[in-house]
Every structure is written in C-alpha cells, then in structure tokens.
Structure 1
C-alpha cells in the first residue's frame, strides 16, 4: 500500500490527459485451439526506445484452454472517489480472466519487464461464490473490482442469468454477486458507470451456447441475441430502467459513458442490424425528467461483394457487414473510435455534439474479401478489433482477433495476431504509423490492450475537468 495516492490516479479526465505518456502496453495473447498457454505480452511503445514496437516481456500462464479476452486493473482513478476506503492502492495488478475456463489470473506488473503471476483463482471458486461463469469485463471501482460474466451456472452457463460479481481489491478474494434486483436483465456483456451520478449502464451479447462454438446463424436471423441496455442505481444495485434498442439491433456490446462526470450521456455499439446488415452506434442520455433515452446516431453500411469472395456464413447476403465489435471514447469526450471488424476499417467520429456525430477520419487494414495490408506492406489478419486510446488522445492502438471461433467463421483463410497504432491529427483524422507493427508469436492471436498508467476504457473519474 502507498502512503499517498498513486500518481497514475487522476481526479479529472483533463488531468489524466496531461499526465506522462505510456511507455508500455499490455496485450492479450491467446491460443485459439488451446494447444498453447495464453499470456500477456508487454510491448514497448516508447518511440525513443531501441525496442520500440517490440514484445519485450511475456507472462505465460501454466494452464491451457483459458482463452484470454478482456482484462483490467485492480485499481484506477476511481480510487479518488469520496466513497472509497482504498485511496492508497497502487495501479499494480492486472486482473485477467479466461473466458472459456472461468479461471482468473492476477498479474503483478509493477515492474513491466519483470511482470509475473501473483495469484490464480480457480473456476470452482468463481462458481461456488457467485453462481456465474465466463468472466468477461473488469472495472476497478472505489470499493472493489467489478467483474461481468457471460454465463450463469451449469455446464453450458444457462442455469440462471449471468451478472456481475465483486472482488476485494487488496486480497483478490471473491466477495459475491452485485445484483440485488436485476429487473429484465437476463444476458450480459459490458458495463460502466458514472460514480458521482451514481448510475451504471450494462449491455448484452448472448448466452454461452450462442457464442462459444461460433455465431449461431439461426439465432441471429431470428433476433435472439441481446438488444437491450440496462440502467442501474449503482449503490442500490438495482436495475431502474431497461431500453430495448429494437430486436433487429443484434448484439449491443461496448458501453462508453462520457468521461466528464458532469455529463449524463454515452454510447453503445451494435454489431449488426439484421434488416440491412448495417452497424450502428446509439447515443444514450438522461432527460430532464430523469428518464433514460437512446437514439441511433451513427449507421455504417455494408459493402456489396461477390458471393465467391465471402465466407459461407455471408455468401447468401452478397455483402460484407461492418460488424461493429468495439468502440472507444477519447478522454476529452471529442472522438469516438469505431472498429468495423468486417469491413477492415477503423472510423473516427467527432462526437463533440453526441447527438450529431461527424466522420472525421478513417483507415483501412484487413477486412473480409479485402485483406488490406498495413502501410509497411505486411499483412493484417481479420480486421480492426479491440481499440485503445492513449490518455492524451494522440495515439490509437488496436489488435485484430474478435473471438477464436468467430475469427474462424468470418475469416476462415486467415491466421495471425497483429497490433498496430495510428497517430491522430491535430484537428482530427488518423494515419497508421508505418513503424509500429507487432506480429505475435506463431499460433497466438491478440485481443485487448491496456496501457501503462491507464487508458480511455479503464478509468472512471470523480471530479469535473476545469
């Protein structure tokens, strides 16, 4: 425990943007067939380093078949909340769950080049103490570590709905379930909150039988994946309102609230509209009567394509859907980045007016039936997927794997794990950095990224920017 707050904790988004830039990134490495152990790659992102753009350390776990996916910090800027009992924690540990095994690893990265496993929580403990399975998203709250899950109990994860559980942020013991009243929530995916305004928003993907062995086309076409977002009284742990985005808006995934805690709005990405194959972004907000509203503010069209150039799953449509699989919001709440995994495009939108986003920049790399190379001439498998933004908003990093079985369905002839970075123009626009390109070890793919000192999908702030 520190004797003073961790210097990487920041009261406001503006202060975080002014902090020293990242020197290292931590990136998931996963074995799609379970033949190797998964791990965390430590990547040098300091352009002045002679090892810039290289993996400089790896933490490989002792088990196989975990499938690392999303992960997060033990503590972040939320520790500065007036509600916290843990103001002197360190941002020291990464909490890394296996989405297939339900095993959780705690990795000590205080010295990035000597990062090591600190603790392993076996799946039996997760099942026994929560009744949940398939841990997914990690968020550090002022009083503990929150973990969302994609599965309930039972072997196939359908014995009861999935939800959120809380871990102790110092001992890493599992405390128990979060929900006191879940209301209509019966599926899960992402969640995030506004701490001073005491609300949380959660989203939906599907239940384990709908994603573990690949997308179930029949379920998609009959609109059986998640299409609602849920608003919670954060402290009462109660679902206060559910908004159905429309059953055709299948797979409401990433939740990105405004970083400034005085603002009561945010964004949610929708993978596909089954009526037209568009991808979509919804803006959600709280009206003057205290009710939550949501409106579709961005649509991204599919690209026509000959059937013979498409994977079997898409041949009947003769089109490439955008497949919006990740979004991220810069700390100044100005730019929203949208990963179009199917098209092979990363979009940048100016969302200064959250109800009227404007396309400000776009790059192409990878993509179904396109396979656009990186500017350095090297290949990029699949398409842009997990996206992370530097705190100062000047660099955007992304990787390429969505989920092993889905990769294989949509990109049956591709293989590989890559991580790239784009520089952001002073007045918007993005351009891929020719000198930053990481090809992960053979047989391993890449997914979520975390940046040293925090990033734009990690920290929640408790004080307004001045």
Structure 2
C-alpha cells in the first residue's frame, strides 16, 4: 500500500489525458484448442525503444483450458472517490478470469518485466461463494473489484441467471454477489457506471450454451440472444430500469459511458440486426427525472459478397455483416472507435454530439472477404477486435481474436494472433503505424489489451472536468 495515492490515479479524465504516455501494454494470449496454457504478454510500446513492438516478457499459466477473454486492474482512478476507504492502493495487479474454466488469476505487475502469478482462485471457490460461473469483465470500484459473469450454476451454467460478484481489492477474497434485486436481468455481458451519479449500466450476450461451442444460428435467427440493457441503483444494488433495444438487435455488448461524470450518457454496441445484417450503436442518456432512454444513432451496413467467399454460416446471406464486437471511447469523450470484425474495418466517429455521431476516420485491415493486409505487407488474420485507446487519445491499439469457437466459424483455419496500432490526427482520422506489429507465439491468439498506467476502458473518474 502507498503512503499517498498512486500517481496513475487521476481525479478527472482531463488530468489523465495529460499523464505521461504509456511505454508498455499488457495483452492476453489464448490457446484456442487448450493445447497450451493461456498467458499474459508484456509488449513494448515505447517508440524510442530498441524492442518497440515486441513481446518483452510473458507470464504463462500453470493450467490449460482457461480461455482468457477480458481482464482489468485491482485499482484505478475510482479509488479517489470520496466513498472509498482505499485511496492508497497501488495499480499493481491484473485480474485475469478464464471464461471457460471459471478460474481467476491475480498477476503482480509491479515490475512488469518480472510480472508473476500472485494468487490463483479456483473455480470451486467462485461457484461456492457466488453461484455464478464464466467470469468475464473486471472493473475496479471504490470499495472492491467487480466481476461480471456469463453463467449461473450447473455444468452448462444455466441453473439460475448470471450476474456480478465483488472481490476484496487487497486480499482478493471473493465477498459475494452484487445484486439485491435484479429485476428483468437474466443474461449478462458488460457493465460500467457513473460513480458520482450512483448508477450502473449492464448489457447482454447470451448463456453458455449459446456461445461456448460457437454461435447457434437457430438462436440468432429466432432472436434468442441478449437485446436489452439494464440500469441499476449502484449503491442500492437493484435494477431500476430495463430497456429492450428490440429483439432484432442481437447481442448488446460493450457499455461505454461518458468519462466525464458530469455527462449522463453513453454508448452500447450491437453485433447484428437480424432484419438487415447491420451493426449498430445505441446512445443512452438519463433524463432529469432519473429515467433512461435510448436511441439508435449509428448503423453500419453489410457488404455484398459471393457465397464462395463466405464461411458456411454466412453463405445463404451472400453478404458480410460488419459484426460490431467492440467499442471504445476516448477520454475527452470526442471519438468513439467501433470494431467491425466481420468486414475488417475500424471506424472512428466524432461523438461530440452524442445524438448525432459523424464518421471521422476509417482503417481497413483483415476481414472475412477483403483480407486487407497491414501496410507492412503482413496478413492480419480475422478482423479488428478488442480496441484500446491511449490516455492522450493519440494512439489506438487493437488485436484480432473474438472468441475461439467463433473465430473458427467465421474465419476457418488458424489465422494467428496480432496486435497493431493506428495514429490519430488532431482533428480525427486514423493511420496505421507501419512500424508497429506484434506477433504472438505459434498456437496463440490475442485478445484484450491493458495499457500501463490505465486506459480508456479501465478507469472511472469521480470528479468533473474543469
């Protein structure tokens, strides 16, 4: 524990933007067939370094079959909340859940090039203390670590709904379930909050039988995946409103609230509209009476394609859906980045007016049909997926794997892991950095990225910008 707040904690997003640039990134490596243990790669992102764009350290786990997916810090800028009793924590540990094994690893990265396993929480403890399985998203809150899950009890995770549980941010003991009253919430995916305004927003993907062995086409076409977002009284731990985005808007995934807590709006990405194969972004906002509303503010069209160029799952449609699989919002709340994993595009939208986004930039790389190479000439397997933005908003990093069984359905054959970076223009626009290309060891794919000192999908801030 520090004697003063961690210097990587910032009261406002504006202060965080002025912090020193990142020199290291932490990226998950997953073994899609479970033949090798999953791992954590430490990547050099300092352009002045001799090892720029290279993996400079790896932490390989002792077990196989974990399937690493999303991960997060033990502590972040939310520790500065006036509600916290933990203002002097260090941003020292990464919490990595195995979505397939329900095992959780605590990794000590105080010395990044000597990062090591600090603690392992076995799945039996998760089951016994929460009744949940398939831990997914990590957020550090003022009083603890929040973990969303995708499964309930039972072997297939369908005995009861999934939810959120809380871990102690110092001992990493599992404390118990978050929800006191879940209302209509019966599926889960992402969640985030506005701490001073005391509300949380969560989203839905599907239950384990709907994703673990690949997408279930019959469930998708009959609109059985998640299509609602839920609003919560954060401290009361109860669902206060559920909004159905429309059953055709299948798989409401990433939640991205405005970083400045004075702003009461945010965005949610929807993978596919089953009526037209479009991807979509919904803007949600809070009214003066405390109620919430949503509106679809971005649509992204599918692209025509020959059936011969498509995987079996899409041949009958003769089109490639964009497949919006991740979104991220810059700390100044100006640019929203949208991963179109199917068409092989990264879109940048100016969302200064959150109700009227405007396309400001676009990069093409990978894709089911286009297979656009990187500017360095190398093949980028799959498409843009997990996206992360530097605190100053000048660099955007992304990887290429979605989820092992879904990778194999949409992109048959192993395409390998990769991580790239694009530079952002002062007034928007994206340009892929030709000299930044991270290759991962054979047999591994790459997923989520965390940046040294925090990033745009990690920290939540407690004080408004000035």
Q: Tell me the TM-score range normalised by the shorter chain.
A: over 0.9
Per the alignment, residue 436 of structure 1 pairs with 436
Partners of 1:21 and 1:87 in 2: how far apart?
23
Per the alignment, residue 40 of structure 1 pairs with 40
SS for the counterpart of 2:225 is: coil
Per the alignment, residue 185 of structure 2 pairs with 185
Per the alignment, residue 210 of structure 1 pairs with 210
Per the alignment, residue 415 of structure 2 pairs with 415
Partners of 1:373 and 1:414 in 2: how far apart?
16
Runs of 4+ in 1 over 2 A off after TM superposition: none
Matched, 1:307 2:307: yes
Per the alignment, residue 384 of structure 1 pairs with 384
Alignment of 1:191-202 (within 5 A): 191-202=191-202
SS for the counterpart of 1:397 is: strand
Partners of 1:8 and 1:392 in 2: how far apart?
13
Shift of 1:414: 4.3
SS for the counterpart of 2:64 is: coil
Per the alignment, residue 354 of structure 1 pairs with 354
Shift of 1:413: 3.4
Map Cα deviations across residues 16-36 of structure 1 (whole Å, 9 max, x no partner): 000011010000000000000
Partners of 2:415 and 2:337 in 1: how far apart?
25
Partners of 2:262 and 2:190 in 1: how far apart?
22
Shift of 1:120: 0.2
Per the alignment, residue 268 of structure 2 pairs with 268
Per the alignment, residue 98 of structure 1 pairs with 98
1:23–1:44 Cα contact (<8 Å) kept: yes
Shift of 1:246: 0.1
1:382–1:414 Cα contact (<8 Å) kept: no
Per the alignment, residue 321 of structure 1 pairs with 321
Map Cα deviations across residues 212-255 of structure 1 (whole Å, 9 max, x no partner): 00000000000000000000000000000000000000000000
Matched, 1:73 2:49: no
Name the count of aligned residue pairs: 466
Shift of 1:369: 1.2
SS for the counterpart of 1:316 is: helix
1:227–1:246 Cα contact (<8 Å) kept: yes
What TM-score comes out, normalization by structure 2 length?
Answer: 1.00
Partners of 2:407 and 2:303 in 1: how far apart?
19
What TM-score comes out, normalization by structure 1 length?
Answer: 1.00
Alignment of 1:5-404 (within 5 A): 5-404=5-404
Partners of 2:116 and 2:414 in 1: how far apart?
31
Map Cα deviations across residues 416-466 of structure 1 (whole Å, 9 max, x no partner): 000000000011000000000011100000000000000000000000111
Partners of 1:172 and 1:219 in 2: how far apart?
37
Map Cα deviations across residues 243-284 of structure 1 (whole Å, 9 max, x no partner): 000000000000000000001000000000000000000000
Gaps of 5+ in 2: none
Compute the RMSD of aligned alpha carbons.
Answer: 0.4
Map Cα deviations across residues 330-385 of structure 1 (whole Å, 9 max, x no partner): 00000000000000000000000000000000000000111110000001000000
Shift of 1:290: 1.9
Partners of 1:229 and 1:386 in 2: how far apart?
21
SS for the counterpart of 2:447 is: strand
SS for the counterpart of 1:88 is: coil
SS for the counterpart of 1:315 is: helix
1:223–1:247 Cα contact (<8 Å) kept: yes
